[in-house]
Amino acid sequence: MAHTYGPIFKMKLGSKLHVVINTRELAKVVVRDQDEAFSNRDQSAAALAITYGGQDIVFSNNNHNWRKLRKLFVHEVLSNKNLEASGSFRRDEVRKAIKDVFGKIGTAINVREIAFATETNVLTRTIWENTSDEVVKHRNLGAEIDDVAANIVKIFGRVNLSDFFPSLARFDLQGVERDMKMQRDKLDKLFSGIIEDRIKSNFERSQHEVKREGKKDFVQILLDHRDEKDGTSLSMTQMKALLLDVMIAGTETTATTVEWAMACIISDHKVMKKVQEELDEIVGLNNMVEESHLPKLKYLDATIKETLRLYPIIPFLIPRSPSKACTVGGYTIPKGCTIILNVWSIHRDSRYWDNPMKFNPERFLADKWDYKGNNLVYFPFGSGRRMCAGLPLAEKMLMLILASLLHSFDWSLPKGEEPDFTEIFSIALKKTKPLIAIPSQRFVTV
C-alpha cells in the first residue's frame, strides 16, 4: 500500500480515521518537528486492558504520569551506574545459557527459547534480586512469562471491532478486553506478592534498625518513590504497570530479535564467518565474551542493525494520536485519529537503501549509525520523546547473547531444513516458524 499510495494516505476503518506515514521526510514532521502534538498514544482496548487503563510507559498518553514514570525509569533504573552494577547478572545468566547449550551440542534447539529464558533471568534478578525466596519459590517464572508474552502478542494481533467503532467498546464483543485482563492478572498476583514482600521486609529491617546493603533492585527504587511528597509518588497500580512493561516488552523484543538475527546469520555463511572471525580477534580463542568486548564488535553490531532494518520488532511502532489538529505534508491531520509510522516500509525503501531486500551488514559499517532515531531512514526503536525507554539495556543484551552464542558454537539448520523468513502479523514482527538450529562446539571450554 505504501508503494501504491505514496508518502501519506488515510484509511477509514469503521468510524476511525487512520493516517499512514511512509517516508523519512514526513516521519520527521511527526516525531521531531511536531513531536509534542503527536506524542499521545492511540489506545486500543487491548492496550488499555493490559496497562491498567494506560498507567504505564508504553501506552500512556503524554501526561504527568507518563513523564514521571519515564524519568524514573531512564534516570534511575537504567542509569549508567545501575546498568554497570547489574552487569554481573547479565554475565552470569548468559554463561549459564552457554553452559546449557553446551550440554545439548548436536541436538536441535529452539533459539528463541534460549534467548527468552536468559533475558527473563536477567530481568528478574535486576528487578527483584532482594525478594525472599518464598514469593517465587516453586514457580517456573520463565515459562509463565513466556506464556503470557506469547498470548499478549496474539491478542494484540486480533481484529477488535471496538477499536474501529468506539461506541461498541463497552460491550467487549470479541472478548479482547476480557482475554487481555486474564493475561495481566496472571502477572498481577506475582508483582503484588513481590511488592508486599518487600514492604514487609523493609518494615522488619527498620524495626531492628538494619539497613539494606548493596545495590538497590528495581522494586526497591519504585518503593522509594511510593511516598514522595513532590508529585513523584507512585501508586501500587503504577508500580505493577511498570513492572509489566519491563518484563513483557523487555523479554519479548530481545528474544525475537535474537531469533531473527540468528536466522539471518545461519542462512548466510559469509556473514557467520565474518562475525566469528571478529569474535576470535576481539575475544580470543579460549575466552568467554565480556561486556568490555562489545563496543569493539563492529561487524556484529552492524549485523544486528541490519536484522532490525529488515525485521523491525514493532513494524509500525506504537501508533500515535495527535492532541490537536496538525498539518503533515500539506494535509490536515484531525485531532484524535490514529497515526501509523510505517517503519517496515521505510526500512525497505529503495530511495533510501541500495538493494533493500538483501541482507547486507556492510551497509552499517560505512557511516555512524545508532538506534536513537536521528536518521529517520532507520529508527527501529522509534524516535523523539516516545522512543523506546529500555534501549540501553536491550542493546547490551542483544550484543551479549548473540556474541556468546556465536563465539562458543557453530550453528546449522537440521538436515533437509531450508531458511524460513515468513512473518506473523501482530503488534510485534515474529517468525511464523520457530528457528530450530543445531549447535556444534567451536573451541571455548565451558
- φ/ψ of residue 410, rounded to 5: -90, 150
- Residue 373: the pLDDT is 92
What's the chain's Rg over C-alpha atoms?
Answer: 22
Q: Would you put residue 52 in left (φ > 0), alpha (ψ -120 to 50) or beta?
A: left
Are residues 29 and 160 in contact, defined by beta-carbon separation less than 8 angstroms? no
Structure-block grid coordinates of residue 3: 508503494
- Residue 135: the pLDDT is 65
Structure-block grid coordinates of residue 168: 461498541
Q: How does the average pLDDT of the chain come out, rounded?
A: 91
What residues does 339 pair with on adjacent strands?
A: 19, 320
- Residue 146: the pLDDT is 83
- Residue 76: the pLDDT is 87
Give the three-state DSSP class for 156. helix
- Residue 443: the pLDDT is 72
Structure-block grid coordinates of residue 344: 517496515
pLDDT digits (tens, 9 = 90+) for 70-84: 999 998 888 899 899
CA dihedral 254, 407, 424, 18 (to 10 degrees): 50
The rounded distance, in Å, linking the Cα atoms of 233 and 222 is: 9
Give the three-state DSSP class for 30. helix
- Residue 188: the pLDDT is 92
The rounded distance, in Å, linking the Cα atoms of 222 and 72 is: 8
- Residue 201: the pLDDT is 84
The rounded distance, in Å, linking the Cα atoms of 78 and 84 is: 9
Q: Which residues, other chains included, contact 166 with Cβ-Cβ below 8 Å and sequence gap of 6+?
A: 15, 16
List C-alpha distances in Å: 2 to 8, 278, 330. 8, 38, 18
Q: What is the pLDDT along the chain (446 residues), one digit of tens a residue?
A: 998 999 999 999 999 999 999 999 999 999 999 999 999 999 999 999 999 999 999 999 999 999 999 999 998 888 899 899 899 999 999 999 999 999 999 999 999 999 999 999 999 888 887 666 666 665 677 778 888 888 998 899 888 999 999 888 888 889 999 999 999 999 998 899 889 888 888 877 776 665 555 578 889 989 988 877 666 688 999 999 999 999 999 999 999 999 999 999 999 999 999 999 999 999 998 899 999 999 999 999 999 999 999 999 999 999 999 999 999 999 999 999 999 999 999 999 999 999 999 999 999 998 788 999 999 999 999 999 999 999 999 999 999 999 999 999 999 999 999 999 999 877 899 999 999 999 999 874 44
- Residue 170: the pLDDT is 84
Task: State the sign of the Cα–Cα–Cα–Cα dihedral 161, 162, 163, 166.
Answer: positive
pLDDT digits (tens, 9 = 90+) for 292-317: 999 999 999 999 999 999 999 999 99
DSSP 279-316: HHHHH-TT----GGGGGG-HHHHHHHHHHHHHS-SSTT
Pick the CATH number of 2-441 from 3.30.450.40, 3.60.20.10, 3.90.470.20, 1.10.630.10: 1.10.630.10
Domain segments of the chain as ranges: 2-441
